[in-house]
């Protein structure tokens, strides 16, 4: 018997990757259409009465945060060991939310001096230390104020105290 020689197997057909290209074009088109749709929704929402209120509130809140961090006494509070420190005029905060509260917002709420640390910060100063630091600011307003120390992500403050304009403790809220 003579061995039979088989012809070599045919070379596999080279793929031209058209399927991948089509899938990429379809995915990119869907992404672009999604972005256009989202932009349309944002424009529609932004031009509605409620949307204007919300966008205005967000802008005012960002301005209030910047103002709080640069307010008289904020630097002294930060120097006392606060990673995030500020002095907020609570009346400004109520102006931000007044459009969303039926009957208007309360007034004459005073100042809040805050100290906020990260979730894992364990050496945050107590309220009396923050009050002393705030009182040391030469250009601070002479008015009653609240002090609050908290960790980020925690709804309950570590301490919350209220002081008169001279810095005398008026009230301590229990934890």
Residue, of 37 and 169, whose pLDDT is higher: 169
Tens of pLDDT, residue by residue over 43-96, are: 776 677 777 777 777 777 777 778 888 889 999 999 999 999 999 888 777 777
- Which tokens in the block code for residue 69? 């961090």
Interacting residues of 106 by C-beta distance below 8 A, sequence separation 6+: 94
pTM of the full predicted structure? 0.64
Mean pLDDT of 151-160: 88
Q: What is the DSSP string of 103-169?
A: T-------EEEEEEE-TT---PPPHHHHHHHHHT-TT---S-EEEEEEETT-SS-SEEEEE-TT--E
CA distance 55 to 40: 16
């Amino acid at each position: 018997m003579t061995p039979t020689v088989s012809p070599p197997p045919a070379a596999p057909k080279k793929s031209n990757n058209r399927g991948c290209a089509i899938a990429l074009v379809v995915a990119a088109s869907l992404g672009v259409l999604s972005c256009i749709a989202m932009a349309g929704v944002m424009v529609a929402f932004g031009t509605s009465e409620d949307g204007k209120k919300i966008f205005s509130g967000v802008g005012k809140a960002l301005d209030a945060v910047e103002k709080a961090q640069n307010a008289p006494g904020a630097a002294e509070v930060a120097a006392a060991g606060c990673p995030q420190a500020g002095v907020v005029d609570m009346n400004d905060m109520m102006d931000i939310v007044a459009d969303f509260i039926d009957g208007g917002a309360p007034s004459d709420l005073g100042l809040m001096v805050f100290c906020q640390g990260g979730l894992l910060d364990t050496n945050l100063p107590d309220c009396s230390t923050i009050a002393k630091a705030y009182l040391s600011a030469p250009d601070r307003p002479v008015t009653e104020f609240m002090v609050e120390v908290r960790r980020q992500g925690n709804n309950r403050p570590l301490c919350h105290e209220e002081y008169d304009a001279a810095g005398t403790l008026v009230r301590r809220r229990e934890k």
